[in-house]
């Protein structure tokens, strides 16, 4: 069995070293289970791209076209994208929607596509919360400055702007007047892969937050019902000593190239 792991690419605010650590541990855990790992990352300054972490390592741009050529060449049976931060999640969605995963028979491992889309799409996530009776602040999803300004005229300022399919606040922020809102909408829609943003009344956030905390307090388990798993049970796995067979990061016993063959 062979699994493709998507790295997180450049270190960004909201997408930093924790994903490098997670991807590294995924490679080690899979290799210990006898599963061949193929890692793709555009950032060589990471632990996960060190020789010996993955069986095959590609230092290539994290784009759909490049990933499709790697999938065509390596023919993995599974794709693990949830350890690559927002980059990995977005690429998994794009690969699925473009038909690449179905065309090469690649199964998306871990979080299913529907869950990723529901969590990242602001309107879909809002509707999910409403369906389970969870209070949410007054908001709308919009794709244009005009829609956002119309909402602001109705509920007032400040407004919280959160683009869809972004992490770490990219393109988002708080708008205190029409000029700030126009700038936030422009940057937010541009940052969102689907051109969508959620615009929330800041004042109603306090009401929804208070209601949510009250609901959560009644559901909090007592100390007797919490798990008492000892810390020793969560020790990290021992690093594999298996020699590296990377395609682009040669080990002392092997050498190769990670260059993906051109589409021609």
CB distance 264 to 75 below 8 Å:
no
Percentage helix, strand, coil, to 5, in the chain? 40, 15, 45
- For 45-66, the pLDDT digits (tens) are 888 888 889 999 999 999 999 9
Say whether 238 sits in a helix, a strand or coil: coil
pLDDT of residue 151 exceeding 50: yes
How high is the pLDDT of residue 5? 94
Q: What is the mean pLDDT of the chain?
A: 77
Rounded CA gap, 152 and 183, in Å?
Answer: 14
- Written as one string, the DSSP assignment of 30-55 is HHHTT-EEEEEES-SSSSTTSBTTBS
CB distance 82 to 113 below 8 Å:
no
How high is the pLDDT of residue 222? 47
Rounded CA gap, 139 and 156, in Å?
Answer: 12
pTM: predicted TM-score of the whole model, two decimal places: 0.62
Q: Give the CATH architecture of domain 121-219.
A: 2-Layer Sandwich (3.30)
Identify the residue with better confidence: 230 or 116: 116
Beta strand residue intervals within the chain, DSSP E: 2-6, 36-41, 56-59, 78-80, 107-108, 139-142, 159-163, 173-175, 197-201
How high is the pLDDT of residue 198? 80
How high is the pLDDT of residue 43? 87
Mean pLDDT value of segment 217-226: 49
Q: Give the CATH architecture of domain 2-112.
A: 3-Layer(aba) Sandwich (3.40)
How high is the pLDDT of residue 233? 44
Which of 25-39, 118-132, 155-169, 247-261 has the highest mean predicted lDDT (pLDDT)? Answer: 25-39
% of the chain at pLDDT higher than 70: 73
CB distance 92 to 165 below 8 Å:
no
What is the residue extent of each domain of the chain?
2-112, 121-219
- For 192-208, the pLDDT digits (tens) are 877 888 888 876 544 44
Sign of the C-alpha dihedral, residues 229, 232, 235, 239?
A: negative
């Amino acid at each position: 069995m062979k699994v493709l792991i998507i790295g997180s690419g450049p270190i960004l605010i909201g997408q930093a070293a924790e994903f490098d650590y997670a991807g590294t541990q995924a490679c080690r855990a899979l290799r210990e289970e006898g599963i061949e790992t193929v890692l793709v990352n555009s950032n060589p300054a990471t632990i996960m791209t060190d020789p010996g972490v993955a069986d095959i390592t590609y230092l290539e741009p994290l784009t759909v076209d490049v990933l499709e050529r790697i999938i065509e060449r390596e023919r993995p049976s599974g794709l693990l994208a949830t350890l690559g931060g927002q980059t990995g999640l977005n690429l998994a969605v794009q690969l699925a929607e473009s038909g690449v995963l179905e065309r090469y028979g690649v199964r998306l491992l871990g979080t299913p596509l529907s869950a990723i889309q529901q969590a990242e799409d602001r309107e879909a996530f809002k509707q999910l919360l409403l369906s389970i009776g969870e209070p949410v602040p007054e908001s709308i999803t919009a794709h244009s400055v005009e829609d956002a300004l119309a909402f602001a005229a109705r509920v007032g300022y400040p407004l919280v702007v959160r683009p869809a399919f972004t992490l770490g606040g990219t393109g988002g922020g708080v708008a205190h007047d029409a000029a700030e809102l126009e700038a936030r909408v422009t940057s937010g829609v541009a940052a969102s892969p689907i051109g969508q943003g959620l615009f929330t009344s800041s004042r109603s956030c306090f009401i929804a937050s208070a209601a949510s905390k009250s609901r959560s307090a009644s559901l909090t388990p007592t100390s007797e019902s919490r798990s008492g798993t000892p810390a020793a049970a969560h020790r990290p796995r021992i690093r594999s000593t298996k020699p590296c067979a990377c395609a682009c990061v040669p080990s002392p016993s092997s050498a190769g190239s990670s260059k993906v063959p051109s589409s021609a």
